[in-house]
Structure 1
Amino acid sequence: MQVLLIEDDPSLAQGLKTSLKREGFIVNHLQLGRLAIESVATAAPDMVVLDLGLPDMDGQDVLRAIRKINAELPVLILTARSSLQDKVDGLDGGADDYLAKPFDTDELLARLRVFERRLSSLKHAELVVGNVAMDTKAQQVKVNGADLELSRREYMLLKTLMENVGRVQTRDSLETKLYSWGDEIASNAIEVHIHHLRKKLPEQFIRTVRGVGYTIKAL
């Protein structure tokens, strides 16, 4: 799951990025509200963690702008504004959750996992293509009923392809699902992941569209 972190405190942002990445989230970080709005409009993440005290504009205005672009995008407000009225205003303004600073990282992670489960349920709790079945709630994959052992990135790559059966996914679009901005990515990283996946999946399950990307065809 890809998280857009909108936070102007560099040390807090770095700590959150480290903690979230350790839990398997792909984290992209911005300090300015205006850039966050542009990012959501260009390529929406799976969820947003939003500070209200941003240097260029109030976080509530950022939230309203995000809601105009995407009414369903899960947004968690993470802020030093801790009064009951602040919380009411944030939730009434369109936030899905509200966590006041100082906070416990484990609690933040638990709340984001709630978002993750909700998103999986809304999309597809189970993805089945031929004899390959993926349980997105349990994050398990089976081939002919037998458990398949996948790395985190292999699982995320396969999930993206299975959620888009019949549609070609470009290498660039797959990289955005697997890596954060600024990550050092080998030029053949996606090809390597695809190679390892193919060795674990039925023959011709993942197909190459030469010069474009990869796809899974409906069976």
Structure 2
Amino acid sequence: MPRPIPNFKSPPSVILAFTKPDCELIKRELALKKVSSFFLANFWRQGDMALCGPVLGAPQAAIVLEHLKSAGAQRILAYGWAGALNENIPLGSLFLPNEALSLEGTSQFYGDYFFPSKDLFGWLYHEFVTQGIFLGEGRVVSTDALYKENKEFCDKYSDIAQVVDMETSAIFCVGKALGLSVVSLLLVSDRVCPDFQKYPFKKLLKVTQNLIPIFRSFFF
């Protein structure tokens, strides 16, 4: 299949939000206007600011990155939710993956690079340090099987990764293959083990609300 030919133009920098609630909040706070939809994702833009999402899982993340690259994007700040794999990761905290372990099936078609871009990782880390915001750092394991994040999964992976999601390994790998600078920022929405716990939804949105100044600075 040929590379996509999008019906929209993208500025160099794009926030890729995985969840619909975060998409709605970010596009409202940044006063973005919807300009396109493709593969169940939307694209909003206002000048040099742009947002795309939601995406669910590695296949859709790869499709969206292909479209964004073809539309002119160069830098991607991915933002989504993740589950903690141990009790040391606080619910509602932010986590910056410096490496991803891939258990999803999409990345194998793009390569085996599972790290964020050094430039964006350094910039984002510095932003949090400057603002005095607590930020965890470490490895994320990305999987296709949401309902297999169980005790057996935790026993196998909790010693080698701190959080689990469904997109980051593909974001890193596909981004590298396409020549995009990418970084992933994860909000710990629940704890998978030792016992399942969820962080209140309204508090999750409050965390995202507090990130708006950092999101703005990403574009300028």
Which of structures 1 and 2 has the bigger CA Rg? 1
Question: Relative contact order: is structure 1 or structure 2 higher (C-alpha 8 Å, sep ≥ 6)?
Answer: 2
- TM-score by length of structure 2 reads 0.33
- TM-score by length of structure 1 reads 0.33
